């Protein structure tokens, strides 16, 4: 994609919206609309068809979680924008529910300008924002406490042993490069495995794959996985 990413910024704080717009504009990323609550965000997406939505979780009237559900339902998974949740708390339980609902990741509101720009470009390219340390803490705290995510359960029998290996490491928030190193594979091969996992499990992106890995018991909350460091991973 050569054109500039198109973004909707949804946050009830004017300073946050203005700050994000200035940062994104300065880096050639187009903010096509702003929204002060979830309902406005849903309407803005319908009108402008953005690539990415930066969505505050806690907003009046309709919160970001419900707005995300409606956007993905209304637009359809194939055409829906990538939603990145904005929060002031890295362990906010709403973030976990948002990932289960189809969000592609989350950012803290005190994100640096460089990280914000990189985040938009990352999710626009089809990847997910899953910083390993925060992702592990988040999922381990809330994975077994969100009954509303039960619909995400999938039968993992369709996956090959190698795809299960990839999913285990992916669940820890590792990038394709880190997965390639840990599994002694090329990055292109890892991307192929990830694509097959998402297709076989009917998942939108890596964020939902993380949720499924924990909720199906493939990875246990609180468990240590030495293979994440590139150590003992099945060949």
pLDDT of residue 12: 95
- For the chain, give the percent of residues with pLDDT over 70: 78
Q: What's the token pair of residue 232?
A: 């003992």
Question: Is 6 or 178 the better-scoring residue by pLDDT?
Answer: 6
pLDDT of residue 91: 57
At 178-230, the pLDDT tens digits run 889 989 999 999 999 999 998 998 887 787 788 788 778 787 765 544 443 34
Question: Is 125 or 228 the better-scoring residue by pLDDT?
Answer: 125
pLDDT beyond 80 at 71: yes
Residue 99 in contact with residue 60, Cβ under 8 Å? no
pLDDT of residue 47: 94
The length of the chain is 235
Question: Is 140 or 123 the better-scoring residue by pLDDT?
Answer: 123
Residue 197 in contact with residue 156, Cβ under 8 Å? no
What is the 3-state composition of the chain as percent helix, strand, coil, each rounded to the nearest 5?
50, 10, 35
Mean pLDDT of 126-132: 68
pLDDT of residue 105: 82
Mean pLDDT of 123-145: 66
Vertex 168: Cα angle to 90 and 56 (nearest 5): 25
Instruction: Report DSSP state, residue 148.
Output: G
**What are the structural domains of the chain?**
6-129 (3.40.50.2300), 149-229 (3.40.50.2300)
pLDDT of residue 229: 37
Question: Is 212 or 10 the better-scoring residue by pLDDT?
Answer: 10
Taking residue 4's Cβ as centre, other Cβ atoms within 10 Å add up to 13
Where is average pLDDT lowest: 32-41, 104-113, 160-169, 190-199? 104-113
Instruction: Report DSSP state, residue 51.
Output: S
d(C-alpha 105, C-alpha 82), whole Å:
9
d(C-alpha 168, C-alpha 184), whole Å:
15
Mean pLDDT of 153-177: 84
pLDDT of residue 44: 96
Question: Is 11 or 144 the better-scoring residue by pLDDT?
Answer: 11
Question: Is 6 or 151 the better-scoring residue by pLDDT?
Answer: 6
Residue 28 burial (C-beta neighbours within 10 Å; 0-12, 13-18, 19+): exposed
pLDDT of residue 116: 93
Where is average pLDDT lowest: 63-77, 87-101, 114-128? 87-101
- What is the DSSP secondary-structure string of 155-189? -GGGS-HHHHHHHHHHTTT--HHHHHHHHT--HHH
Q: Which of 1, 85, 92 is nearest to 41 (CA)?
A: 85
Q: What's the token pair of residue 104?
A: 């592609």
At 13-56, the pLDDT tens digits run 999 999 999 999 999 999 999 999 999 999 999 999 999 999 99
Q: Which of 9, 28, 5 is nearest to 17 (CA)?
A: 9
Residue 53 in contact with residue 81, Cβ under 8 Å? yes
């Amino acid at each position: 994609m050569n054109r500039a990413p198109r973004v909707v910024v949804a946050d009830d704080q004017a300073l946050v919206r203005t700050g994000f717009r200035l940062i994104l504009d300065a880096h050639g990323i187009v903010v096509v609309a702003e929204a002060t609550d979830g309902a406005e965000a849903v309407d803005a997406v319908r009108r402008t068809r953005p690539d990415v939505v930066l969505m505050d979780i806690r907003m009046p009237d309709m919160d970001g979680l419900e707005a995300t559900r409606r956007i993905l339902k209304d637009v359809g998974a194939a055409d829906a924008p990538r939603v990145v949740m904005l929060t002031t708390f890295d362990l906010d339980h709403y973030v976990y529910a948002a990932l289960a609902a189809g969000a592609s990741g989350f950012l803290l509101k005190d994100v640096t300008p460089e990280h914000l720009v990189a985040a938009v470009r990352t999710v626009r390219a089809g990847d997910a924002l899953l910083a390993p340390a925060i992702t592990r803490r988040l999922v381990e705290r809330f994975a077994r406490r969100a009954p509303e995510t039960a619909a995400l359960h999938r039968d993992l029998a369709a996956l090959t042993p190698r795809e299960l290996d990839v999913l285990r490491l992916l669940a820890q928030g590792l990038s394709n490069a880190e997965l390639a190193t840990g599994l002694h594979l090329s990055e292109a091969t890892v991307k192929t495995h990830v694509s097959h996992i998402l297709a076989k499990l009917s998942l939108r992106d890596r964020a939902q794959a993380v949720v499924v890995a924990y909720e199906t018991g493939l990875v246990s909350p609180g468990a240590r996985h030495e293979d994440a460091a590139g150590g003992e991973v099945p060949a």
